[in-house]
Structure 1
Amino acid sequence: MRDYRRLYIPGGMYFFTLVSYRRKPIFADSIRVDQLRRSFREVKAKRPFDLLAAVVLPDHLHCLWRLPEGDVDFSTRWQMVKADFSRHVPEKTRKNGAKTVWQPRFYDHCIRDENDFHKHLDYIHYNPVKHGLVSIPGEWPHSSFARFIALGWYSSGWGDVAPPDEHE
């Protein structure tokens, strides 16, 4: 078994990747994306955090979170999001009672500085293009890209070429 080590920084900012079980396209349906949004709201109401940016693709999602000052527990929040979403998704149940909705683990990366933040923000917003789902980020409906255009962080044509320093 692998030894997974996570870096827990109080009030930290993190980039996450979560993948569906066996990469099934559980988010290909907008209804499921809406359910994921509801699950985020439910968890945020109980265990606050800032969802800074996100993209939901058919079989995985990426997002940036900031935890409250003094709080390090993103793992419990993800368990709650995954559990809440899974309760509303009619998927097969394994012998141990777990639903086959999510891969059991997730990837996390603690954001180190402003440059690291912008690199991961670009990665999130360019991801639908990288996977061949759209030709420019603004065409993908399940992304925070439009909000960042409205904030003046991106132009509407950003992403017609790959951004530098993709991390994967």
Structure 2
Amino acid sequence: MDRAEANLLRRGRFSEPGRLYLLTTVTHARKPLFLDLRTARLVIRELRQSERLDACRSLAWVLMPDHLHWLVELRAVTLSSLMRQFKSRSGTALCKAGVSPGQVWQRGFHDRALRQDDDVRKVARYLIANPLRAGLVAEIGDYSHWDAVWLTSDSDSLYNSL
């Protein structure tokens, strides 16, 4: 997508507090930075920080080796602000840890606002199943870089509880 087309997408972007959004962002040059547990955990910490700062409520997320899918309920910030702050904090954390001295994330991100008739749990299940579809694991419980608000204490029913 060239720059002019990207600007057209941003022009139509609308941030509505309380609305659910599915966000996707990709590492620079699709570099698989998050194969390493320590690196992934640094990014996950900053993802959770967005919730602590009341920028969003995370409903579900999965951190893949080279991208992030994040289902959020937006709070009192814009989508652009949420993603800019998250990318800045996570990039800084990775740089300080000596993981990535350069650019961590590609510019921009993809967003999709969920409609009222969308089945939120179905969207979350699809998002969480990414490691399965990518062939990274045979069972979702074997992949450690995901979470969802619908989890139960029974580890055997993690995926089924969504």
Which bracket does the TM-score occupy, shorter chain normalised?
0.7 to 0.9
Q: Report what 1:102 is aligned to.
A: 105
Alignment-mate amino acid for residue 113 of structure 1: Q
1:67 and 1:157 map into 2 onto residues whose CA distance is 24
1:156 and 1:84 map into 2 onto residues whose CA distance is 29
Structure 2: tracts of 5 or more residues without a match: none
Q: Secondary structure at the match of 2:70?
A: strand
| From 62, 81, 84, the counterpart of 2:86 | 81
Could you report, residue by residue, the CA deviation over 1:25-48 in whole angstroms, capped at 9, with x for unpaired residues? Answer: 111111112211221243334343
If each structure's helix is expressed as a fraction of its own residues, which one has the higher value?
2
Tell me if structure 1 keeps the 8 A contact 2:43–2:90.
Answer: yes
Q: Report what 1:18 is aligned to.
A: 25
Cα offset for 1:139? 1.5
The percentage of counterpart residues that share the same residue type is 29
Q: Give the 4+ runs in structure 1 shifted more than 4 A.
A: none
| From 149, 152, 157, the counterpart of 1:155 | 157
| From 55, 68, 72, the counterpart of 1:48 | 55
Alignment-mate amino acid for residue 130 of structure 2: N
Tell me if structure 2 keeps the 8 A contact 1:128–1:137.
Answer: yes
Tell me if structure 2 keeps the 8 A contact 1:136–1:157.
Answer: no
Q: 1:144 to 1:47 in 2, by over 3 A?
A: closer
With structure 2 as the length reference, what TM-score do the two structures score?
Answer: 0.79
Q: Report what 1:165 is aligned to.
A: none
Alignment-mate amino acid for residue 138 of structure 1: G
1:120 and 1:143 map into 2 onto residues whose CA distance is 14
Could you report, residue by residue, the CA deviation over 1:93-140 in whole angstroms, capped at 9, with x for unpaired residues? Answer: xxxxxx321110111111112534223211111100111101122211
1:46 and 1:72 map into 2 onto residues whose CA distance is 10
Q: Secondary structure at the match of 1:150?
A: coil
Aligned length: 148
| From 101, 111, 114, the counterpart of 1:111 | 114
Q: 1:32 to 1:114 in 2, by over 3 A?
A: farther
Tell me if structure 2 keeps the 8 A contact 1:54–1:62.
Answer: yes
Could you report, residue by residue, the CA deviation over 1:50-108 in whole angstroms, capped at 9, with x for unpaired residues? Answer: 1111111111111111123xx3512101101101111122324xxxxxx3211101111
Q: 1:155 to 1:72 in 2, by over 3 A?
A: same
Cα offset for 1:150? 0.7
2:72 matches 1:65: yes
Q: Secondary structure at the match of 1:104?
A: coil
Q: 1:156 to 1:22 in 2, by over 3 A?
A: same
